[in-house]
Amino acid sequence: MIRVRMKGRFPSDMQAGHMKACLRNIVHLFLGENHYLPSENAIQSEICRVLGVQRRDCVMIMYMFMWISVDEEIRTVMNRSMSENNNIKKKKLTKKQKDGFKSLKVKKCKGPCTICLGENFKGVKLPCGHEFHKSCIKKSFSYNKKCPNCRKEIKL
């Protein structure tokens, strides 16, 4: 068990760093086992138990650090995802692919276009059965030759 001794009401920078590491582990523990965050009281109780802190007035400070840690991790993942997306190169459609798009029949579709979320639209149905606006799927297809929903390779 990891214990943090507090001198005074607020943690020092070193204690704060140690608490953030502990709290990150608590978040991973909760998310890893249950795939959801439990109630605030359950989290506070777990923080007190893991860190060995008896005074409830410190819990809110630690709780704040936990959300800062989660926020940092989310930002890291988002930045990584965005940099990966920036490296995707748009490819020109071949004549055969353009002809394939022309051959797709435009019809009234059920449900929203899952690319732009437009409702009640006229669109095209891919061989896998998913429906999109023709312009949306054409744009998507220039980056990736797979259905955006099921990731099946689309041959037109």
Query: How much is the mean pLDDT over the chain?
Result: 67
Percent of the chain with pLDDT over 70: 33
**Average confidence (pLDDT) over 102-117:** 76
The CATH number of domain 95-143 is 3.30.40.10: yes
Provide the pLDDT for residue 8.
Answer: 47
Pairwise CA distance, residues 132 & 153, whole Å: 16
CB 74 within 8 A of CB 37: no
pLDDT category of residue 4 using cuts at 50, 70 and 90: very low
pLDDT category of residue 145 using cuts at 50, 70 and 90: confident
Question: Within 10 A of 147 (CB to CB), how many other CB atoms are there?
Answer: 20
Write the DSSP string, 123-134.
Answer: EEE-TTS-EE-H
Provide the pLDDT for residue 33.
Answer: 52
Q: Crossing angle, helix 13-34 and helix 59-86, to 10 degrees?
A: 70
pLDDT category of residue 66 using cuts at 50, 70 and 90: low
Provide the pLDDT for residue 3.
Answer: 47
Would you list the domain boundaries of the chain? Answer: 2-86, 95-143
SS3 category, 140:
helix
